Every structure is written in structure tokens, then in C-alpha cells.
Amino acid sequence: MSIRKAVIMAGGFGTRLRPLTMSIPKPMVPWQNRPMMEHIVSSSKRHGIRDVVFLAVLPAEHITEFFGEGTAHDISMRYMLAGGRLRYSRQCEECGVVSDERFIIISGDVLTDIDIEKAVAFHEERGAMATIVLTRVLSPFNTAS
């Protein structure tokens, strides 16, 4: 079974990437002359994603101006903005993401070459309710990435 819907989260304020994030949100910081989020959307599209919901705390003008409704990228793009601290589960419910249709959640500030279809197959083989894909990184902060 393929998954056609993705939720892209952007809850932080990009403080660790300052001064780059003083004027643009972290998902729009350029990498290889394209915003990080464009790389994420393109990768998701290659894996069959056609409906994207962007969840954010931050002002999203840069993102909405760049992506609009997603037509230039041949996807459907919707936006859900929250004041204060974002509660992703509640936001997913409010924007209609939580339903019988399956979806993936992607961090809006992480570039990865994950094989979404392989992760979905792993998930389905185990009959899991949820699956988290992580990788080991060399970090002095002992964080999961």
C-alpha cells in the first residue's frame, strides 16, 4: 500500500542556525541553491506523496509564497499555522490529516535520503501502529536524528 499524504512539521524558530534564520524560516534556508523544504517536497514526491500539509508555529509567508497551493510542484499543499507552542497531534486532527488514510510525518528542517517505500514496507510487515525512522549521528548532545 502506498502512502500519498505527508505532514511536514516546522515548530522551531531556527535559533541554532542564526543569523541564517533571522529573516527566513529554517525550512527555507537554502541548500544547493534551493530551500531545504523544496528538497523535502521533491523527495517525498519521488516516493508517491501527492498531498502535503505543512504545520508550523512560525510565520509561513516565505513558504506559502514559494509553494502556494503546490501546483508548480505537481502536489497539493495546505498550511496549518498555530500560535504559541505547536501540538502536532491536535493540529493534524484539526486540518483533517487524522483519518483512516495513512500518512507520514516529516521534519521540515532535516534533509534525508530515506526510502519512504522501504520504511512503509517495514511498517506494514510488522503490523505496526506507528514507525519511527532514525539514523545514528556523531553528536556530543546524544540526540536522536
41-53 burial code (b ≥16 CB/10 A, e <16):
bebbbebebebbb
Measured distance CA(82)–CA(51) in Å, rounded: 20
Q: Is residue 65 part of a domain?
A: yes
Q: Is residue 142 part of a domain?
A: no
- Over 60: is that where the pLDDT of 41 sits? yes
Return the pLDDT at 59: 67
Sign of the torsion formed by the C-alpha atoms of 123, 7, 15 and 20: positive
Q: Is residue 134 part of a domain?
A: no
Domain count, the chain: 1
Q: Is residue 131 part of a domain?
A: no
Q: What is the pLDDT of residues 121-144, one digit of tens each?
A: 888 898 888 888 887 777 666 665
Q: Is residue 46 part of a domain?
A: yes
Q: Is residue 128 part of a domain?
A: no
Domain that holds residue 44: 5-110
pLDDT tier, 100 (very low <50, low <70, confident <90, very high otherwise): low
Measured distance CA(84)–CA(86) in Å, rounded: 6
Cα 118 to its chain centre, rounded Å, is 18
Q: The pTM is what?
A: 0.77
- Over 70: is that where the pLDDT of 85 sits? no
Residue 66 maps to which CATH number? 3.90.550.10
- Over 60: is that where the pLDDT of 86 sits? no
Q: Is residue 144 part of a domain?
A: no
